[in-house]
Amino acid sequence: MDLSGRRIVLGVGGGIAAYKAVEVSRRLVDAGAHVVPVMTTGAKRFVGETTFSALASEPVRSSLFDDPNDPIPHTTIGQGADLIVVAPATARLISAYATGYSHDLLTNVLIATRAPVIVCPAMHTEMWEHPAIQDNMTLLRSRGVHVVNPGEGRLAGGDIGAGRLAEPIDIVAAVFDVLESRGAGRASAETRDLDGLNVVVSAGGTREPIDPVRFVGNRSSGKQGHLIAEQAHSRGASVTLVTTSAIASSPGINRVNVETADEMHRAISAVANTADIVVMSAAVADFTPVRAAENKIKKADGVPSIVLAPTVDILAELGAVKPVGQTLVGFAAETTDAEANALRKLHAKNADLLVLNDVSAPGVGFEHDTNEVTILSADGSRVHIGLTDKRKVADAVLTEARRVHHAGSTATE
Ligand code: CTP
């Protein structure tokens, strides 16, 4: 891949593997990228600033304050970037980034940017496996940060285990991958292929209150729906995201936070009529307690019986009143007779596409970062997407929705 015209910030943390970042920089420059090196104070103890300045495209930056030409480097560096790659990312750097503790130039740049970020951790096995680090990695991943996992091998001090910085060639491959899938830096017709379309996406599992502290819920995390909204936004659509999830969304997305099936129904109904594409990826509760207790139900009062009533099937309702030219996408989480059940839902709810998750398969569906789906279409087509990250699944769903929408609008012209 030719990286000419791409501006890549290379963040270097203070670890023994900092020397490998020199090789990452050289490979990126060789591919045509403009590399802006940002080193932490710790990194400079491991590799000389001059080495980086000589091999990157401009001198090393590391201070928030001492650049006479740039009084606010923490915002300008991140704003101008097509991508930021942090290698090595130390335990401290990862934790600062996850919590927003922006105490130096690199952490400020990470918090101030809207560019995609790739984090390449490197640390001792015990540190890498510590729940504090793993929880922070999960948090970063849930926010859409890309991760090149460390490999196994000899670590500083001679012991062997997981935590060794990924090889420069793999880090550069991840840069290519992310830039290719996001189309960053070049707004070609293909990457802005949803320009002018109004897309409504629902995400997350609804919570149906039993009393002020308890609810009936489900395992949906909202990751897949959020990524559909993010990808639709970066492909040029005007996006409304109705969500129960706490995952952050891009500022350009019109976000409506809801909690219950009833709130989701109202929020979707208010915007669906003018949508070109509606994607119902939310796991909407099928039943809700008839009445939520006003005060916390006390154990001493005995085992309560909770009477449930059906909720509105939002997808079926949208299907029943679907405006001409609108493309309606449903999801189906199945554990048995997956494809037969999904096809039944597709027709019964008058959807145009149905994205089938077999949630009994490993690595698929709820809470995972990966997914494997089959996209079934009312026109009879069937697209299978093998196990991959949810961002790629999001793109595949949008590409199918765009195809069906386009076919529908040319048919009605
Ligand atoms: N759905 C909805 N409103 C509901 C329930 C489901 O809009 N009250 C939507 C979901 O967002 C999804 C599709 O319907 O797009 C299928 O959801 P799923 O739970 O798989 O199917 P159900 O119709 O609820 O059937 P079952 O639970 O019996 O499998």
Of the listed 108, 149, 198, 218, which one is catalytic? Answer: 218
Pocket lining: 311 vs ligand 1, CB cutoff 6 Å: yes
Q: Which CATH code, of 3.10.290.10, 3.40.50.10300, 3.40.50.720, 3.40.605.10, is assigned to 198-293+300-412?
A: 3.40.50.10300
pLDDT class of 405 with cuts at 50, 70, 90: very high
Residue 185, pLDDT score: 40
Give mean pLDDT, residues 332-338. Answer: 90
pTM over 0.85: no
Q: Relative to the CA of 282, which ligand 1 atom is closest?
A: 11
Under a CB-based contact definition with an 8 Å cutoff, are residues 21 and 50 in contact? no
* 101-105 long-range Cβ contacts below 8 angstroms, 24+ apart: 102/74, 104/40, 104/41, 104/62, 104/64, 105/38, 105/40, 105/61, 105/62, 105/63, 105/64, 105/73, 105/74, 105/77
pLDDT value at 325 more than 90: yes
Q: How far is the CA of 333 from the centre of ligand 1 (A)?
A: 8
Mean pLDDT of the chain, nearest integer = 90
Residue 412, pLDDT score: 54
Kind and range of the H or E run holding 345: helix 338-348
Kind and range of the H or E run holding 373: strand 370-377
Strands 34-39, 7-12: pairing kind: parallel
Q: Which residue among 216, 266, 315 has the greatest number of ligand 1 atoms within 8 angstroms of its CB, and so is best to mutate?
A: 315
d(CA 325, CA 342): 23
d(CA 251, CA 270): 21
Under a CB-based contact definition with an 8 Å cutoff, are residues 88 and 12 in contact? yes
pLDDT value at 189 more than 60: no
Token match 């039993």: residue?
A: 210
Q: Which residue among 280, 339, 375 has the greatest number of ligand 1 atoms within 8 angstroms of its CB, and so is best to mutate?
A: 280
Q: Where in the chain is the domain with CATH 3.40.50.10300?
A: 198-293+300-412
List the end-to-end C-alpha distance of the chain, in Å, as a whole number. Answer: 39
Pocket lining: 6 vs ligand 1, CB cutoff 6 Å: no
Residue 388, pLDDT score: 86
Q: How far is the CA of 237 from the centre of ligand 1 (A)?
A: 25
Bridge partners of 355, per DSSP, are: 331, 375
d(CA 169, CA 161): 20
Residue 182, pLDDT score: 66
Q: Whose CA is nearest to atom 4 of ligand 1?
A: 313
pLDDT value at 184 more than 60: no
Pocket lining: 261 vs ligand 1, CB cutoff 6 Å: yes
Pocket lining: 332 vs ligand 1, CB cutoff 6 Å: yes
pLDDT value at 89 more than 80: yes
- 208-263 pLDDT, tens digit each: 999 999 999 999 999 999 999 989 988 889 999 999 998 877 767 899 999 999 99
> Of 73-82, 226-235, 303-312, which one has max mean pLDDT?
303-312
Give mean pLDDT, residues 166-174. Answer: 92
Q: Whose CA is nearest to atom 3 of ligand 1?
A: 313
pLDDT value at 368 more than 80: no
Query: How far, CA to CA in Å, does 275 sit from each of 234, 253, 304, 318?
Result: 17, 14, 42, 11
Of the two residues 69 and 64, the one the predictor is more confident about is 64
pLDDT class of 120 with cuts at 50, 70, 90: very high
**What is the full DSSP assignment across 231-286?**
HHHHTT-EEEEEES------TTSEEEE--SHHHHHHHHHHHHTT-SEEEE-SB--S
Pocket lining: 330 vs ligand 1, CB cutoff 6 Å: yes
Q: How far is the CA of 189 from the centre of ligand 1 (A)?
A: 34
Residue 251, pLDDT score: 67
Pocket lining: 286 vs ligand 1, CB cutoff 6 Å: yes
Is 218 marked active-site? Answer: yes
Q: Which CATH architecture has domain 7-183?
A: 3-Layer(aba) Sandwich (3.40)
- The dihedral of CA 333, 259, 203, 137: what is its sign? negative
- Tokens at 4, concatenated: 């000419």
Q: Whose CA is nearest to atom 6 of ligand 1?
A: 284
pLDDT class of 190 with cuts at 50, 70, 90: very low
pLDDT value at 119 more than 50: yes
- 29-65 pLDDT, tens digit each: 999 999 999 999 999 999 988 988 888 899 999 988 8
d(CA 29, CA 361): 42
Nearest to 32 by CA among 185, 134, 235, 149: 185
**Strand positions, DSSP E, 151-264:** 151-154, 160-164, 198-203, 208-211, 214-216, 238-243, 254-257
Q: Give SS3 for 143.
A: coil
Pocket lining: 401 vs ligand 1, CB cutoff 6 Å: no
Give mean pLDDT, residues 82-103. Answer: 96
* CA of residue 143 relative to chain centroid, distance: 6
Nearest to 308 by CA among 331, 276, 328, 286: 286
Q: Which residue among 207, 220, 265, 313 has the greatest number of ligand 1 atoms within 8 angstroms of its CB, and so is best to mutate?
A: 313
Pocket lining: 314 vs ligand 1, CB cutoff 6 Å: yes
Nearest to 269 by CA among 320, 305, 234: 320
Q: Where in the chain is the domain with CATH 3.40.50.1950?
A: 7-183
Q: How far is the CA of 283 from the centre of ligand 1 (A)?
A: 7
pLDDT value at 408 more than 90: no
pLDDT class of 410 with cuts at 50, 70, 90: low
Under a CB-based contact definition with an 8 Å cutoff, are residues 107 and 113 in contact? no
Residue 191, pLDDT score: 66
> What's the DSSP call for residue 92?
H
